[in-house]
Amino acid sequence: MTSSSTQEPFYDSSLLAPLKDDYRGLRILAVHAHPDDESSKGAPTMAAYLDRGARVMVATMTGGEAGDVLNQEIEQLVWSRRDLPGLRRQEMAKAQEVLGIEHRWVGFRDSGLPEGDLLPPLPYGSFASLPLEVAAAPLIRLVRDFKPHIILAYDEIGGYPHPDHIMSHRVAMEAYEKAGDPQAYPGTGQPWEVSKIYYDRAFSPERVAAMHAYLLSQGHQSPFAEWVAQAAEGDGKGNTPPVSRHQTSTRISSADYFELRDQALRAHASQVPLDSLFFALTPEEQRQIWPFEDYVLAKSRVEVSLPETCLAEGVDYRAA
């Protein structure tokens, strides 16, 4: 629930439930398109489970080498122009250290974000240009090696329609469906069946609207105003931005880790300047407005009762 009044709650408090203290044995794999995605999407959730004994790995599908440098201070550095891939790797290493996650570079080439009225073709050999079986094979090998109970992924529109995000969705779903099939992807390890796969909703319309309403209630300008207006009305040309058709099924109480997420975001300095909208509200303000992270249970092989307040519901992660 959102409101422009600070006297009313911005969310339904009945959906808040603390996580258990012990998730030893649980393994979570988060599939992301580029370095920095792991910090902007789901970092507090990963930290919350890590803090309670789970293992959490991030698979970064590309090196992010086709991205722009969005921080003017970093853009002035010669290094950012001569070796952007190296800079992105160094930033990812810092974010990994902050979050405490395990990490694998899957090794594909960033496809870039095509722009123009007539979109250019994707670069030859880039991640999003590949056949699904080629793009998914290394991730299936990783799943069979790490043996996650849970995969965190993007929805069909990739969270937003970047070609690499959409392909990340496709390979994550392929891994969920095929990693446990002994006939599929021979030569990539012993089969492992993933119990559940979730779509991340870091930028759910409800959360964005709540942050927007809070800023207005405090007499501040909101960097989310255009976002909220376009989601409701379109861009004035008859187009509406892609919005997930899914509804939140799962909310993870993770407000204690918002500061940690901000530290991880700052580690990606070439992509996240200090005036970024990620920092439009303080962690304390975000705790007041939206103290959890939203997910959609996309598929499950175990029985669950929705809505959930834990990713591990129904999963026998203690099994040998």
pLDDT digits (tens, 9 = 90+) for 128-154: 999 999 999 999 999 999 999 999 999
- pLDDT of 2 above 50: no
Distance CA 40, CA 315 (A): 26
What pLDDT does residue 320 have?
Answer: 55
What pLDDT does residue 43 have?
Answer: 98
Quick check: is 7 in a domain?
no
What pLDDT does residue 228 have?
Answer: 84
243 falls in which pLDDT band (50, 70, 90)? low
Mean pLDDT of 171-193: 98
Mean pLDDT of 106-110: 97
Q: Are 56 and 50 in contact (CB under 8 A)?
A: yes
Quick check: is 175 in a domain?
yes
12 falls in which pLDDT band (50, 70, 90)? confident
* 4-18, 57-71, 172-186: which is most confident: 172-186
Q: Are 135 and 107 in contact (CB under 8 A)?
A: no
What pLDDT does residue 7 have?
Answer: 38
Instruction: Tell me the pTM.
Output: 0.92
What pLDDT does residue 153 have?
Answer: 98
Quick check: is 93 in a domain?
yes
Structural domain including 290 reads 16-203+248-300
CATH assignment of the domain containing 265: 3.40.50.10320
Quick check: is 158 in a domain?
yes
- Coil, strand or helix at 181: coil
**% of the chain beyond a pLDDT of 70:** 92
What pLDDT does residue 241 have?
Answer: 60
Least confident of 76-85, 215-224, 311-320: 76-85
Number of structural domains in the chain: 1
Which one, of 313, 278, 308, 280, lies nearest residue 296 by Cα? 308
Sheet holding 292-300, edge to edge: 102-108, 55-62, 27-32, 150-153, 196-200, 292-300, 250-253
Helix (H) or strand (E) holding 130: none
- pLDDT of 80 above 80: no
Quick check: is 74 in a domain?
yes
Q: For the chain, give the mean pLDDT.
A: 90
Mean pLDDT of 228-239: 62
Rg value, the chain, Cα: 19
Mean pLDDT of 285-293: 95
Residue whose structure tokens are 């969270």: 159
- pLDDT of 3 above 50: no
Cis peptide before 161 (omega within 30 of 0): no
What pLDDT does residue 4 have?
Answer: 37
Quick check: is 189 in a domain?
yes
Vertex 286: Cα angle to 280 and 292 (nearest 5): 135
Distance CA 226, CA 241 (A): 11
Angle between helices 84-99 and 258-267 (to 10 degrees): 160
Q: What residues contact 92, with CB distance under 8 A and at least 6 apart?
A: 35, 36, 60, 103, 267, 268
Quick check: is 198 in a domain?
yes
Quick check: is 32 in a domain?
yes
Mean pLDDT of 50-58: 98
What pLDDT does residue 9 have?
Answer: 56
